[in-house]
């Protein structure tokens, strides 16, 4: 089909009339398809139901080192869980603290602790006149919600196909001591699904921040979330790279099993340097006597070892891979020739990023909602919910059934066409 950008006003008018008629038919179906969050589907959750059977009232809940998981203790987590997540995160178990059910909660606590008590003896952030954070965009809305909650000024840094614009990151971090951190989703990023290049990781490890309490918040949420066995992104391990660069304390690395087993009932972890770990523990000792060791043991007994976890993730991939491929096929079929949008084709993670023509994203999302397809709010991938170009939309393919997803994406592409045709027609008439 002829690209919309090459159509005359008369052709766009005719196209728009046809599209609107089709849209009315879709609205009449009365659909309600919620794709607003990147949640596992029922079939994915079913993969972990065996975890409910690995422990019962007859089970020995004693760890190899003699720790009784029914009682207090093990502030850093049971050794078996540290080893399992250490293998998953590619870190030494001694550098890991196992937490509760959510890495997002650990990140919130980490910001909160810095706010009230500072980082390794530095002035608490809450007592400073201004605190800033770098926010790669498009990025993860819940990261931005945390820094926004504390009133931290968020500075957008554009993402590139190899990660954040490191020229900008290096310049800002080295010149401004009020910049205390940066959010990162380094592998299969949210929402693009891209992974940081080797050069990007090395440049992060070699940052020279003006603030001694600057930290990289390295949220490796999708480290083992591959879609393909034979095509997988590789990420340099950041803690080892920081150590080689003489910056061992620069990074907090977060991960969890939230989209591996049960979201809300998994286990989370932070990996960091010995100095940072002692700083964490100096506060954690006042917060808890230990996290849920029974749940930690349940995860260890269920997976056995990293090989069991990797095989489990292959089964996840078998379920969601057809969904990602369906979205890409529909986008290619419906939009590739029209010149009205672009999208990513990730090899892992939970999202596909769609960029519309400037000024169309909010209209597309609103129009889709009226036809029964609920998407992540336009602008959510930017700090304060403000996408300056109104182009970015996050697509979350995992939760709906394949049949529902295909229908939702057909409606979505229809909405993209209507919004784009309207915009281009208005420009021609202006």
pLDDT more than 90, % of the chain: 99
Say if 149 falls within a structural domain: yes
Say if 54 falls within a structural domain: no
Residue 213: CB atoms within 10 Å: 20
Say if 51 falls within a structural domain: no
pLDDT in tens, 74-130: 999 999 999 999 999 999 999 999 999 999 999 999 999 999 999 999 999 999 999
Q: Are residues 222 and 336 in the same domain?
A: no
Its domain, for residue 165, covers 61-304
- Position 84 scores a pLDDT of 98
Say if 227 falls within a structural domain: yes
Query: Hey, what are 127's tokens?
Result: 């007592």
Q: Are residues 191 and 330 in the same domain?
A: no
Q: Are residues 150 and 299 in the same domain?
A: yes
Say if 112 falls within a structural domain: yes
Residue 178: CB atoms within 10 Å: 16
Task: Judge whether residue 32 has pLDDT over 80.
Answer: yes
pLDDT in tens, 320-355: 999 999 999 999 999 999 999 999 999 999 999 999
Number of helical H runs and strand E runs in the chain: 13, 13
Say if 82 falls within a structural domain: yes
pLDDT in tens, 296-319: 999 999 999 999 999 999 999 999
pLDDT in tens, 162-214: 999 999 999 999 999 999 999 999 999 999 999 999 999 999 999 999 999 99
Q: Are residues 292 and 318 in the same domain?
A: no
pTM exceeding the 0.85 threshold for the entire prediction: yes
Q: Are residues 104 and 87 in the same domain?
A: yes
Task: Judge whether residue 420 has pLDDT over 90.
Answer: yes
Say if 50 falls within a structural domain: no
CATH at residue 399: 3.90.1150.10
Q: Are residues 37 and 171 in the same domain?
A: no
Out of 272, 304, 336, a domain closes at 304
Q: Are residues 114 and 149 in the same domain?
A: yes
Q: Are residues 317 and 299 in the same domain?
A: no
- The answer to whether 337 touches 417, Cβ cutoff 8 Å, is no
Query: CA distances (Å), 320 to each of 47, 112, 354, in order?
Result: 13, 35, 18
| Residue among 317, 413, 421 at smallest CA distance from 371 | 413
Query: Hey, what are 189's tokens?
Result: 């990023």
Q: Are residues 144 and 12 in the same domain?
A: no
Q: Are residues 17 and 136 in the same domain?
A: no
The secondary structure of the chain in percent helix, strand, coil, rounded to multiples of 5, reads: 45, 15, 40
Q: How many independent structural domains does the chain possess?
A: 2
Q: Are residues 8 and 134 in the same domain?
A: no
pLDDT in tens, 233-263: 999 999 999 999 999 999 999 999 999 999 9
């Amino acid at each position: 089909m002829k690209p919309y950008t090459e159509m005359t006003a008369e052709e766009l008018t005719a196209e728009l009339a046809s599209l609107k008629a089709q849209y009315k038919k879709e609205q009449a179906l009365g659909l309600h398809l919620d794709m607003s969050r990147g949640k596992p589907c029922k079939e994915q959750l079913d993969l972990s139901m065996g975890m409910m059977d690995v422990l019962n009232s007859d089970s020995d809940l004693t760890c190899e080192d003699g720790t009784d998981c029914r009682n207090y203790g093990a502030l850093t987590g049971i050794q078996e869980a540290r080893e399992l997540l250490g293998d998953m995160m590619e870190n030494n178990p001694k550098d890991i603290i196992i937490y509760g059910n959510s890495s997002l909660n650990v990140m919130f606590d980490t910001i909160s602790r810095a706010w009230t008590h500072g980082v390794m003896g530095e002035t608490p952030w809450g007592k400073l006149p201004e605190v800033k954070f770098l926010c790669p965009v498009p990025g993860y809305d819940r990261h931005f919600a945390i820094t926004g909650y504390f009133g931290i000024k968020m500075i957008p840094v554009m993402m590139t196909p190899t990660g954040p614009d490191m020229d900008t990151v290096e310049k800002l971090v080295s010149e401004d001591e009020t910049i205390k951190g940066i959010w990162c989703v380094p592998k299969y990023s949210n929402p693009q699904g891209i992974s940081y290049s080797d050069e990007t990781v090395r440049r992060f490890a070699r940052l020279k921040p003006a603030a001694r309490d600057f930290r990289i918040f390295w949220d490796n949420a999708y480290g083992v979330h591959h879609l393909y066995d034979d095509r997988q992104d590789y990420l340099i391990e950041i803690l080892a790279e920081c150590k080689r660069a003489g910056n061992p304390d620069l990074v907090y690395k977060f991960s969890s099993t939230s989209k591996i087993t049960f979201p809300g009932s998994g286990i989370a972890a932070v990996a960091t340097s010995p100095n940072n770990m002692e700083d964490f523990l100096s506060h954690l000792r006042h917060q808890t006597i230990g996290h849920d060791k029974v749940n930690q043991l349940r995860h260890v007994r269920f997976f056995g070892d990293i090989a069991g976890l990797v095989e489990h993730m292959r089964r996840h991939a078998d379920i969601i891979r057809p969904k990602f491929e369906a979205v890409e096929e529909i986008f290619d079929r419906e939009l590739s020739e029209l010149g009205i949008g672009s999208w990513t084709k990730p090899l892992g993670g939970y999202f596909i990023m769609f960029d519309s023509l400037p000024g169309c994203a909010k209209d597309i999302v609103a129009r889709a909602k009226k036809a029964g397809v609920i998407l992540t709010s336009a602008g959510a991938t930017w700090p304060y919910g403000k996408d300056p170009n109104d182009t970015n939309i996050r697509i979350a393919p995992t939760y709906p059934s394949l049949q529902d997803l295909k229908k939702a994406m057909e409606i979505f592409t229809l909405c993209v066409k209507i919004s784009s045709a309207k915009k281009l027609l208005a420009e021609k008439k202006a």
